[in-house]
Amino acid sequence: MAKSSTFVCQSCGAVTAKWSGKCEACGGWNTIVEEGPPPPLGTNAGKRGKGRPFRLEDLKTQDEAPPRRVTGIGEFDRVTGGGLVAGSALLVGGDPGVGKSTLILQALAEYAKAGGRAVYISGEEAMAQVRLRAARMGLSEAPVALGAATCVEAILSTLEAGPPPGIVAIDSIQTIWTGALDAAPGTIAQVRTASFDLVRYAKASGAALLLIGHVTKEGQIAGPKQVEHLVDAVLYFEGERGHHFRVLRAVKNRFGPTDEIGVFEMTGQGLAEVANPSELFLGDRSGRAPGAAVFAGLEGTRPLLVEIQALVAPPGYGTPRRAVVGWDSGRLAMILAVLDARAGLGITAHDVYLNVAGGLKIGEPAADLAAAAALVSSFSGRALPPDCVFFGEISLSGDVRPAPQAELRLKEAVKLGFKTAVVPLGTRMTSPGLALREIADVAALADFAGDGG
Ligand code: TYD
Ligand code: MG
């Protein structure tokens, strides 16, 4: 045991001088692991350069727009902000099994087919397994350079020996380790140091680096959170088990917007792009069951129609039950309270279930009105008109507030054949094709939805 080794909590990163069963910082049990002394930052990656600050105006002559590596997978390129920036590092995080390896292998294959040099290094699967997967996805002809390695020094010397790649993918950061540290692979120190060295390589060589990271339960193994600050962009790949839709979402991007999503469908031959996600999240709209309302939402620059389903049932014994999938449960509690206080419904005593169709997660406050409509509809037992969309934020006073980009939402509704939109007061639409029903507050909504439109 090295004398100066430290003990690091694998859950929160707290450093202590001695081992203990419980981390004092985060309260986690059995999360503290012994790690060797950390090397001074960057020792592993080369000598120190002489730092000299530049003046911003002196840098003006450089190309304004950074060069981008476009993969040809439209949904992926849009989320990255128009392609991967040369010399940048991007982290793709997600639950194990969601499809990260599949997505990245497909992106690399498309990039390589178009003539780019793509390198895929797997620390999890043997070369034969990667080839099998590629064959199943119909990509065995793609000229992607494959490698199976876990030691960062070996990876870097292999990369430096060949011609500089356009895109390098490392699958996954949790398997990569550096010989400069004593700690076991997957610990925070290993993941950070190895990622740091790879990021330095990307900056020096101009390759775009893709790091894949598993989001782990309770952070038992150092997760993507530990390297988010090292990289230029962070994408999360999400999907509910049992649904075949997958959503790629940007949560940090130094070179593009952070509210874009890309929608994919997992098929037998890998991931397929979904060009019109609204059709996918709407479900079957032929029947008129009470409790379903269509929300005209927005994800980044893209409008997205999605069905919100509610079930209000007579209460059983004890505290009323609440269950929410795809929406914020605090938000649901608030909407229920506002419906009771401002529209006099008496709904809070009932059991309430709310579900967003297709396994999508909604974060927009503009979904309030659609959720409230679904709740009132289920409570009253009257179905809403099937050709009607909703959007608008509900305040605690019961007023319905405007939502951004109304025009974009309404246009999408017209495109998909909807006839009516229930909207906040003052919403205007320049293009024809939709009847606007302006709603001032939840009492007016309760009248509308309670009568079945
Ligand atoms: P994978 O990309 O290995 O996930 P991750 O790298 O995020 O752990 O994908 C795993 C799941 O995807 C696996 O359970 C099977 C499914 N899958 C398909 O349904 N079709 C396919 O063509 C492929 C390659 C995977
Ligand atoms: Mg994988």
The pLDDT score that the predictor gives to residue 283 is 66
Domain residue limits, the chain: 1-37, 69-275, 280-450
Smallest-distance ligand from the CA of 269? 1
Residue of 111, 68, 99, 276 whose CA lies nearest to 171: 99
Our answer on whether the CB atom of 266 is closer than 6 Å to any ligand 1 atom is yes
CB atoms within 10 A of CB 71: 26
Average pLDDT, the chain: 86
**Could you tell me if the CB of 137 is within 6 A of ligand 1?**
yes
DSSP 226: G
Q: Find the 39 Cα to ligand 2 centroid distance in Å.
A: 30
Q: Which atom of ligand 1 is nearest to the CA of 237?
A: 7
Best residue for ligand 1 mutational test, from 265, 266, 271 (most atoms within 8 Å of Cβ) = 266
Q: DSSP characters for 154-184? A: HHHHHHHHSPPPSEEEEE-GGG-B-TT--SP
280-450: CATH class:
alpha beta
For residue 266, give the ligand 1 atom closest to its CA: 19
Q: Compute the distance from residue 130 Cα to the ligand 2 centre, in Å.
A: 10
Please name the residue whose Cα sits nearest to atom 1 of ligand 1: 99
For 437-450, the pLDDT digits (tens) are 999 999 999 999 88
At 326, give phi and psi (nearest 5°). 90, 5
* Residue partners of 17: CB distance under 8 A and separation at least 6: 6, 7
Query: What's the CA gap between 10 and 225, in Å, rounded?
Result: 11
For residue 411 and ligand 1, the question of a CB distance below 6 A is answered with no
CB contact set of 209 (below 8 Å; sequence gap of 6+): 88, 89, 90, 167, 168, 169, 170, 198, 199, 201, 202, 231
Which residue has better confidence, 182 or 297?
A: 297
> What pLDDT band is residue 224 in, cutting at 50, 70 and 90?
low
Distance of CA 82 to the CA centre of its chain: 17
Average pLDDT over residues 402-421: 90
CA of residue 122 to ligand 2 center, whole Å: 9
Instruction: Please give the average per-residue pLDDT across 232-260, as a whole number.
Output: 85
Residue pLDDT, tens place only, 286-310: 667 899 999 999 887 788 899 999 9
Nearest CA to ligand 1 atom 2: 99
The closest alpha carbon to 308, from 322, 331, 329, 324, belongs to 324
Measure 167 CA to ligand 2 centroid, in angstroms: 18
Q: What is the spatial distance between Cα 91 and Cα 212, in angstroms, rounded to a whole number?
A: 6
Q: For residue 41, is pLDDT > 60?
A: no
pLDDT (average), residues 256-279: 86
Can you tell me the mean pLDDT for 168-182?
89
In short, whether 94's Cβ falls inside 6 Å of ligand 1 is yes
Q: What is the homologous superfamily of the domain 69-275 according to CATH? A: P-loop containing nucleotide triphosphate hydrolases (3.40.50.300)
Candidates 331, 325, 330, 329; CA nearest to 306 is: 325
Assess whether pLDDT exceeds 70 at residue 43. no
With CA atoms as reference, report the closest residue to 215 among 172, 253, 176. Answer: 172
Ligand nearest to the CA of 242: 1
Residue 315, pLDDT > 80, answer: yes
Give me ligand 1 centre to Cα 274, in Å: 17
Q: Distance between CA atoms of 23 and 43, rounded to whole angstroms? A: 29
pLDDT of 74 higher than 50: yes
- For residues 318 and 212, what is the distance between their CA atoms, to the nearest angstrom? 46
Any atom of ligand 1 within 6 Å of the Cβ of 297: no
Q: pTM for the full model? A: 0.77
pLDDT at 267 over 50: yes
> What is the DSSP-derived secondary structure letter of residue 197?
H
Ligand 1 mean position, distance from CA 191 (Å): 24
| C-beta 96 within 6 A of ligand 1 | yes
- Of residues 370 and 184, more confidently modeled: 370
Tokens of 281: 């999240």
pLDDT > 70 fraction of the chain, expressed in percent and rounded: 91
Distance 207 CA to ligand 2 centre (A): 21
